[in-house]
Amino acid sequence: MNILVPLFSGSNNGRLELIFRLAFGFIMAYHGFHKVMNPMGLVPFLEMKSIPFPVLSAYLAAYTEFLGGIALMLGLMTRLASLGLAVCMAVAIVSLGGFSAGLNSLSGGLEYQWTLLSVFTYFVCAGSGKASLDSVVYKQLTEGKSRVFSQARSA
């Protein structure tokens, strides 16, 4: 019976965020990797969609997706990485027609891009969770500050 308690307790100790970070970070790193290998392959599409500075935009999209995905998986600078990924998804949504494209992905809709935008917006707002490098860095920084302050008080 005790095995069911964690299912209903409200605390996941960062496991849920970790699962989502790994899954969505991998998806973005995978997509970004192929763009990093050939960023110029994206340029004709960006030109067709009238995206300003298509060459620069192709490189920015490729490296944001690849490095942002890796950072998301690691939980390192999660809010910043997620912000960059959210901007990529917002640009994709707008350039592909926004609400007028609909949601049904089978008929060219954008449910996939909207889902990714929602996930990245969550991480921008909520952060990476406990099981992350952000959490480790934060603990190191706050412990260092408390040691400095306690040494200053005792002096």
DSSP 24-48: HHHHHHHHHHHHHH-GGGGHHHHHH
The predicted-structure confidence for 40-91, as pLDDT tens digits, reads as follows 999 999 999 889 999 999 999 999 999 999 999 999 999 999 999 999 999 9
The predicted-structure confidence for 111-128, as pLDDT tens digits, reads as follows 889 999 999 999 999 999
The predicted-structure confidence for 32-44, as pLDDT tens digits, reads as follows 999 999 999 999 9
HEC assignment per residue over 119-150: HHHHHHHHCCCCCCHHHHHHHHHHHHHHHHHH
Distance CA 107, CA 121 (A): 25
Q: For the residues 129-146, what does the mean pLDDT come to?
A: 86
**Position 11 pLDDT exceeds 90:** no
Q: Please, which contacts does 36-43 make with residues 24 or more away whose CB atoms are closer than 8 Å?
A: 36/62, 36/63, 36/66
Domain ranges of the chain: 14-154
The pLDDT of residue 27: 97
Give percent of the chain with pLDDT exceeding 90.
60
